[in-house]
Amino acid sequence: MLYPILTPSRLLSDLSGVWDFKLDNGEGFDQEWYKAPLEDPMTMPVPASYNDLKEGIDFRDHYGWVFYQRKISMPSFVKTQRVMLRCAAVTHYAKIYLNGELICEHKGGFLPFEVEITDKLQDGDNLLTIAVNNVIDYTTLPIGGKSNMMNGMGGFGSSSSAKPQNNPNFDFFNYCGITRPVKIYTTPKDYIEDISLVPEVTGTTARVSYKVDTVGTGDCKVEVFDKEGNLVAQSQGTQGVLEIENVHLWQPLKAYLYDVKVTFGEDVYTLPYGVRTVRVEGTRFLINERPFYFKGYGRHEDTFPNGRGMNLPMNTKDMSLMKWQGANSFRTSHYPYSEEMMRLCDEEGFVVIDETTAVGVNLDFGGGANFNGQKVSTFDKEHGVQTQEHHKDVIRDLISRDKNHACVVMWSIANEPDSYSEGAYEYFAPLYELARELDPQKRPCTLISVQMAPPEKDCSAKLSDVICLNRYYGWYFGGPDLELPEQALRKELDYWKTLGKPVIFTEYGADTVMGMHDTTPVMYTEEFQVEYYKMNNRVFDDYDFVVGEQVWNFADFATSQSLLRVQGNKKGIFTRDRKPKLVAHYFRDRWHKIPDFEYKK
């Protein structure tokens, strides 16, 4: 799927701004709110999560539908074009109405979808209504708990409550709404539908295989321009090879982007593109044929009061802070991040592990799920999760959106799933197969292994190209005495060594309250956080097949209320408003001393 841009053949209108908004307590569809202007609406900015923008727990924890509404109009001359309405992300389920008519439905809260409205537009004003549902359950990704089934990570359960509630089976707040931009764009009737680019590099020459998907008739031309605007390669036809001499490679933290200009009939689209190669060889992760070491974070798209709403200034600030520390990478935990963030990573040279929305696919959390007193396994055919087909849709949409990003070096199929129980291999193997089939660049694939997964039973050991471990030795397991956790961590790594695959630690961390200090490093103090990371990093440095460390988390973030969470998760290296804790300076010193390449020769 192409990112919407303004070109000589394409118009673009951003519908960001203040919309009318109304919570639905079960009346909206019966009363057909989508057919007329909302009565007594609130105001609500788009894009943003709505949860923190009005006062009251009933608003923040609203369960079910909300309605967004505004009027749109288009110039009469665009009727000769193809007119598309595109939503970058609506969390978690959307119904779109235009002038009272249902024109689109979409499941999934973190990837774009679009619908043609050319023949639906009326002269003058048109009433656009987007109904949004935030319910999460055993059929959605991320996973939410079922009534009478489980408590989950969300804290207080709903099984005995008269009022319906969401039960997130994950440890971050279930922010909802229209969280990314809504746009209208146009194309000619004969248009470029998609572009796929696959690089190969030999010496100083790059051969970029391309495929242009088109609708209609017309001649196709593809041109490549360097940063100075010089034409460096060109080809005719919808498939071919672009040969770039003296190629400038896209490198971590040293990005170089070409402009790939595609012309099909009257339609023109320009794609920024970085040339780089990625592959796994033995226990090494190679970018441009050099062994790369991941330094960075698991993160969240989480700010106040935007929630998970797109926040361009904070994206820029986060990039600056990570560069200040010497970080070179992050994972889009636990969902695909905004297209604007991915484009920024291409420009800034950040390396990204791109993750699906599959978090909570593990019914062992919170003591496990049960039905009528009987324990339920994750993949129980009757009472377990029912997400595999939706999971496939998410993988399709993610790869379609992000396949051309140079920053993306690996796909993460899921975060901390049940990868060790009966049925796990049968659930995940087809997903790996699908991702490898769909990705034209054939990037490595992984899933993020939870600590409770016995290594000898973890199906990711067979399926993944890279072993990615979330491990909390010294915090959830074995803390606060760090000597025994260190021994346990070394023992586990001795097992992973036998597989002959690279290992990345994609989470490790300790909750820390900013400003809490002690001469003795006790838990929750800033001093303990430093000692915790020193222990873990000391172990990583002793194993040459460990090719990365991504700290959990970049910044403190919001969660559901819980006895374990005091105004959210405090594992951040920075506070939620991006003030550094003591450990931020420790990592700045460490990471600037570790080269991006050839750290462990």
Known catalytic residues? 416, 507
Question: Token pair for residue 82?
Answer: 């193809």
Q: How many CB atoms lie within 10 A of CB 160?
A: 8
Question: Token pair for residue 509?
Answer: 């961390």
Question: Token pair for residue 285?
Answer: 């992760």
How are strands ordered across the β-sheet holding 220-225? 231-236, 220-225, 258-264, 267-273
Diameter of the chain measured on Cα atoms: 74
Q: Are 466 and 502 in contact (CB under 8 A)?
A: yes
Q: Which residues of 361-380 are buried (b: 16+ CB within 10 A; e: fewer)?
A: bbbbbbeebeeeeeebbbbb
Cα distances (angstroms) measured from residue 497 to each of 281, 493, 501: 15, 6, 7
| SS3 category, 446 | strand
β-bridge pairing 467-470 and 503-507:
parallel
How are strands ordered across the β-sheet holding 239-244? 191-202, 205-215, 239-244
Q: Are 549 and 469 in contact (CB under 8 A)?
A: no
Q: Are 353 and 412 in contact (CB under 8 A)?
A: yes
Strand positions, DSSP E, 226-348: 231-236, 239-244, 258-264, 267-273, 278-281, 284-287, 290-291, 294-298, 329-331
Q: How many CB atoms lie within 10 A of CB 564?
A: 11
Q: Are 100 and 67 in contact (CB under 8 A)?
A: no
Cα–Cα distance between 478 and 484 in angstroms, integer? Answer: 7
Cα–Cα distance between 518 and 502 in angstroms, integer? Answer: 38
